[in-house]
Amino acid sequence: MTSPVSSPHDAPDAVADPAVAQATSVATPDVVIVGGGPSGLRAAADLAPLVAGAVLVLEREAVAGGIPRHSDHPGYGIRDMGTFISGPHYARILRERAAAAGAVIMTDATVTDWAGPRSLNVTTPTGRIRVDARAVVLATGARERPRPARLIPGDRSHGVYTTGHLQNVVHLKHREVGKRAVIVGSELVSWSAAMTLHHVGCRTVLMTTEYPSSDSYWLFNRPGRIFFRTRVATRTKVTAILGRPDVEAVEIEDLDTGNRRTVACDTVILTGDWIPDNELARAAGIALDPQSRGPLVDSAFRTTIPGVFSIGNVVHPVDTADIAALDGAAVARHVRAYLNGARPTDQGVEIRTEAPFRWVSPHLVRPGDPAPARNRLLLWTDRYIAAPLITATQDGRTVGRKRVWWPAAPGRVFRVPSKILDRMDTNGGPVTIAAERSTRHR
Amino acid sequence: MSSTPTTSSGGRAGAPGEFFDVVVIGAGIVGSAIARKLSGYRLSVALLEARDDVGEGTSKANTAILHTGFDAKPGTLESRMVREGYRLLGDYAKVTGIPVERTGAILVAWDEEQLAALPGLQDKANQNGYHHTEVIGADQVYAALPHIGAGALGGLTVPGESIICTWTTNFALATDAVQRGTTLLLNRWVSAVDVGAETTVLKTSGGDVTGRWVVNAAGLGGDNLDQLFRFDRFHITPRRGELLVFDKQARPLVDKIVLPVPTARGKGVLVSPTVYGNVMLGPTAEDLTDRTNTGTSEAGMTFLVDKGKQLCPQLLEEEVTATYAGLRAASDSPDYVIDVDPAKRYVLAGGIRSTGLTAGMAVAEYIDGLVRDTGLLELVDRDDLPAPPTMPNIGEAFLRPYQDAARIAADPAYGKIVCFCERVTAGEIRDTFCSPLPPHSVEGLRRRTRAQNGRCQGFFCGAEVSELLTSRGAAAGTAGPVPATATAAQEVQA
């Protein structure tokens, strides 16, 4: 279900008063990109040569690069650079390419609120700045839900981290955590956390997932378990964290039997369960996908506000860094077209999903627009389906049907060739993407 | 945790283990207010705290409401203390910069029994000296609170009920006390009491402390301490109250405090905005035996989620950014137990429930009067009192450093945001380590600055905040060299 809804609260923050914020200087780039992660930096690199004015990237961290900065293990750059390098190395190349292309990367620059439809208030150590741009690209990424958002009860113990927090501690601050960890989740990012823990001498004693099978690539499931000496407990939920002041154990429940037991550990890593950093999008009144909570975009990454685009994992929380970066490559010509005065038609076919798919991106395909980035629709599934048969239905008619030879697996984006939409009626009703039910389950 | 008791530079008091005119036990809001009041006289005052920071008990985890006292039991000391404290703290907040928002409250009736109770509550408010309530119909309830759940039948407005920062309140009172010369002694658990003819020796986890007078403001431990003085006047049951705090994006849903109508079946759950721009749902009420168990429970969370779905369904679509549990000092006494024993030179401020946030300063005034009336302690005004402290603002309704262009221009550290969710700057973190009450833990840093209190709970800033705790804000103070790219704004302008 991805029917477009307007943001629940269009009014700006009721208590903060932007009138108090007197900017000390004003920047007027052609394009401002909010967020210097893979998608934002790649967009900057590809846009800078295409537009006459400046391309400005606003990055709130001290160093641009996004999450790869602190994911110090190989696996980055596969689809966008044809490499297999570490996250920090990958982040450095993205930074260098954006700068070499002429984009300006401003770090320690936090966008705090909107000053107008394409105008932003920014706090930096050099002052309070207003950025009046002709086009805005929101590339704010996503974060993992922390413990409160997951409503995990128990003691307020020290030693509970998200993967992002863990990797900041280990790879950027070179500090240690405990010795025995339980990882909640068994997605790709969960194995990234396991690698970080291994690096710092903390053994992963258990990985838990509520799904019936591990959610990451097959590659990890046998070799990964052996290498990290880790057991994956499927259909298992963490029901409490115990220990004061430090973690001593987690209580886990077998979802099929209801049995509970405790597992001794001194570290808990909460992985995955991504939520887009959608604050700016929402504050602007951009329509969000009610399921992913990310901005709704069409196949050109246009949001519901003219001149405001959104790319990367804030739109599809979360796909791998290379896919996010390729959004950045794809959005460049659409932003340039906008700057040159091109405006999209009001028409378009809405793309929806049906269970077990939670959301699809893009949500709108307009007549005359190009295919989505990489000719792929991105979906999120709540159930594992091996080699699913995917259907596209419009106005009661099947307009596309395709078996894909890769699984739809919870915990990572499921990609479907956008060719499945080739025969849809561009003037017709919404298209629903579904999985045919006869497919076997693992 | 290393214990580095903060001692005043006033030089009025003796070193730890030495003699004080007055020893106040418990550095919560009530104890801090009492120490502040008494150190306004020519007295040496010590403030003893069992934990590593002030306000570590009920004072840090309550619903953070500045109460008018409209619903107190008329004629009680609590009613009077809350009424007087409301005014005193309101004034003090203005002077010191404690964040307060005058949101007002509406008690919402969800069934006929509750609706029928509203006129009685209005009478009670009038008896408590609060005359501004108004019984309103369902349409007026929804006009004021358009996002609450279906089924409201009517309400009672209490326009004076306000939200306040309970942390800053405690820090302001304790800072004021310390600046007036109070010696704050942290990590001092009182294990035994020896009342002598002239002085009382307190055996503590950090050595003996001797005082002529002792004030018991020990909150959750107040009854046990009272027994050390050979009294048996009241008994405390730690009552756990769990709360859910929702993302700032929920703030437009709830603009006023939505109070339940108390009935025979209990006090119910409230929904309230917070001064940090969030929305809070709770509390539960569960009697425990462990006075240190501030863990959360599955049952409590389930209860609150269900309750929230009725009270404000859209709220539950928002992210929960914090869950916490506070222990209220539920007493078997129906009223505050505030008394002075001239023979033992001992004052009890006991049985003070969560209303103590509002009442604390009035309790201090009241105790001042009780002690004065004994004629045993000379209360001579000082003519050298320092001005009250100006507290760093951590409330959303007032200008925060990250928004303050002039302040950033004067000191770039206020433009370096460390905690993105709560927009806490390196300058604020540096300042708090230079304050009279520097933090000793991440929790202490969080309560002083809001760092890491936001929706990411440390995903982005957790490692940085820990490092700043280790360096006592040092790295933050310098703000680092400004990267070459950061000056590019001017280029872009050109």
Per-residue pLDDT tens digits for A342-371:
999 998 999 999 999 999 999 999 998 999
On whether the CB atoms of residues A296 and A364 are closer than 8 A, the answer is yes
* A174 pLDDT above the threshold of 90: yes
Final residue in a domain of this structure, among B361, B393, B425: B393
Size of interface A-B (CB pairs under 8 A): 191
Q: What is the CATH number of the domain that holds B265?
A: 3.30.9.10
User: Among B343, B360, B393, which residue terminates a domain?
Assistant: B393
Asked if the Cβ–Cβ distance from B301 to A165 is below 8 Å, we say no
> Is position B6 within any domain?
no
Apex CA A214: angle with CA A210 and CA A219, to 5°? 165
In this structure, the answer to whether residues B439 and B420 fall within a common structural domain is yes
Distance (Å, rounded) from C-alpha B434 to C-alpha B115? 52
Residues in chain B: 494
- Mean pLDDT, residues B206-217: 96
Where is the domain boundary, B393, B410, B426? B393
- Cβ distance of A108 and B245 shorter than 8 Å: no
pLDDT reported for residue A193: 95
Here the tokens at position B186 are: 């942290």
Mean pLDDT confidence for B429-451: 97
Decide if B483 and A62 are in contact by the 8 Å CB cutoff.
Answer: yes
Q: Are residues B246 and B218 in the same domain?
A: no
CB within 8 Å: B459 and A144: yes
In chain A, which residue's Cα lies nearest the Cα of B426? Answer: A125
Q: How confident is the model at residue A220 (pLDDT cuts 50, 70, 90)?
A: low
Cis ω before B283 (30° cut-off from 0): yes
Closest Cα in chain B to A105: B485
Does residue B12 carry a pLDDT above 60? Answer: no
Distance CA B438, CA B448 (A): 9
B352, B204: one domain? yes
Q: Which residues of B touch A27 (CB under 8 A)?
A: 489, 492-493
- Shortest distance, CA A400 to any CA of chain B (angstroms): 34
Contact A27 B492 (CB under 8 A): yes
The SS3 call for residue B310 is: helix
A183: amino acid identity, one letter: I
Pairwise CB contact (< 8 Å): B463 & A23: no
Class of A23-142+275-344 in CATH: alpha beta
Nearest to B248 by CA among A108, A129, A113: A113
Nearest-CA distance B191 → chain A (Å): 22
Mutation site, B53, B399, B403, interface A, largest A CB count within 10 A: B403
* Closest-approach residue (CA) in chain A for B245: A148
Residue B10 lies in a domain: no
Same domain? For B440 and B294 the reply is: no
- Predicted confidence at residue B17, as pLDDT, reads 53
Tell me if B486 is assigned to some domain: no
Q: pLDDT band at residue B1, thresholds of 50, 70 and 90?
A: very low
Average pLDDT (A24-47) is 96
Q: Distance between CA B16 and CA B44 in Å, rounded?
A: 12
Q: Is A13 close to B248, i.e. CB distance below 8 A?
A: yes
- For residues B411 and B475, state if they share a domain: yes
Cα–Cα dist A183/A190, whole Å:
7
CATH number at residue B342: 3.50.50.60
My answer on whether B70 and B32 are in the same domain is: yes
ipTM at complex level: 0.91
- For chain B, the distance separating the N- and C-terminal CA atoms, rounded to the nearest angstrom, is 52
**Among the residues of B23-137, which ranges form H helices?**
29-38, 77-96, 112-127
- B69-81 tens-digit pLDDT: 999 999 999 999 9
B460 CA to chain A: closest CA distance, Å? 6
Mean pLDDT of A250-274: 97
- Together in a domain, B20 and B89: yes
> Is the pLDDT assigned to residue A13 strictly greater than 90?
no
Is B477's pLDDT higher than 50? no
Contact state of B249 with A11 under an 8 Å Cβ cutoff: no
Distance CA B104, CA B100 (A): 11
B460 with A61: Cβ contact below 8 A: yes
User: Does position A7 have pLDDT exceeding 80, yes or no?
Assistant: no
Looking at the structure, do residues B324 and B303 belong to the same domain, yes or no? yes
B82: left (phi over 0), alpha (psi -120 to 50) or beta: alpha
A254 - beta bridge partners? A236
- DSSP E strands in A281-430: the ranges are 308-310, 349-353, 357-361, 364-365, 376-381, 389-394, 397-403, 414-417
When CB atoms are compared, the residue of B323, B405, B479 closest to A148 is: B323
Q: Are residues B421 and B472 in the same domain?
A: yes
Confidence of residue B494 (pLDDT cuts 50, 70, 90): very low
Q: Please list the residues that pair with A56 across neighbouring strands.
A: A32, A104
Q: What pLDDT does A218 receive? A: 55
Is pLDDT of B360 > 90? yes
Distance CA B294, CA B324 (A): 8
**Residue B362 has what pLDDT?**
98
> Are residue B90 and residue B172 in the same domain, yes or no?
yes
The model's confidence at residue A23, banded by pLDDT at 50, 70 and 90, is low
Q: Are B207 and B186 in contact (CB under 8 A)?
A: no
Say how many domains are in chain B. 3
For residue B410, give its domain range: 401-479
pLDDT at B328: 85
User: Mind listing the pLDDT tens digit for each residue in B111-134?
Assistant: 999 999 999 999 999 999 999 999
pLDDT value at residue B281: 98
Least confident of A5-14, A269-278, B21-30: A5-14
Same domain, B305 and B193: no
Kindly report the average pLDDT of chain A as a whole number. 91
Mutate to test the interface with B, among A128, A237, A244 (most CBs of B within 10 A): A128
Give me the numbers of helices (H) and strands (E) for chain B, helices first please. 14, 22
The reported pLDDT for the residue numbered B18 is 77
| Mean pLDDT (whole number) for B154-168 | 98
Query: pLDDT tens, B379-428?
Result: 999 999 999 999 999 999 999 999 999 999 999 999 999 999 999 999 99
* Cβ-Cβ contacts under 8 Å, B425 against chain A: 123
What mean pLDDT is reported for chain B?
A: 92
Residue B298 to residue A127, Cβ atoms within 8 A: no
Distance CA B312, CA A338 (A): 41
CB contact under 8 A, B298 and A169: no
Would you say residue B301 lies in a domain? yes
Residue with tokens 């460049």: A332
| Amino acid residing at A381 | T
Q: Using one digit for the tens of pLDDT, what is the confidence trace for A110-146?
A: 999 999 999 999 999 999 999 999 999 999 999 999 9
Cβ–Cβ < 8 Å for A56, A104? yes
Give me the percent of chain A exceeding a pLDDT of 90: 84
Residue B482 pLDDT greater than 60, yes or no: no
- Taken as a whole, chain A contains a residue count of 442
Give every CB contact of residue B473 below 8 A, 6+ residues apart in sequence.
Answer: B426, B429, B430, B431, B432, B433, B434
The shortest C-alpha distance from B423 to chain A (Å) reads 8
Residues 135-174 of A with CB under 8 A from B: 143-149, 151, 153-156, 161-162, 164-165, 168-169, 172-173
Same-domain check for residues B324 and B242: yes
Q: Which residues of A touch B251 (CB under 8 A)?
A: 13-15
Q: Given B248, B413, B485, which is nearest A104 (Cβ)? A: B485
Strand-pair partners of B22: B45, B213
Q: Where are the alpha helices (DSSP H) in B221-290?
A: 222-228
Backbone angles phi, psi at B134, to 5 degrees: -145, 130
- Section B241-265 average pLDDT: 93
Rounded to an integer, the average pLDDT of B283-311 is 93
Indicate the domain borders of chain A. Answer: 23-142+275-344, 146-272, 353-435
Partners of residue A160 on adjacent β-strands: A268
Chain B residues in contact with A240 (beta carbon < 8 A): 298
Determine the pLDDT at residue B491. 38
Per cent of chain A over pLDDT 70 is 90
Phi, psi of B313, deg, nearest 5: -55, -40
Q: What is the mean pLDDT of residues B288-293?
A: 88
Q: A146-272, what's its fold?
A: FAD/NAD(P)-binding domain (3.50.50)
Quick check: do A23-142+275-344 and A146-272 share a fold?
Answer: yes
Q: Which of A22, A146, A172 sits opposite B456 (nearest CB)?
A: A146
Q: Among B5-14, B289-298, B369-378, which stretch is predicted with the lowest mean pLDDT?
A: B5-14
Contact B460 A21 (CB under 8 A): no
> Is B365 within the bounds of a domain?
yes
B296 neighbourhood in chain A, CB within 8 Å: 153-154, 156
Residue B346 lies in a domain: yes
pLDDT of A219: 54
- Structure tokens belonging to residue B351: 């049985």
Helices (H), B256-404: 298-311, 356-374
pLDDT > 90? residue A201: yes
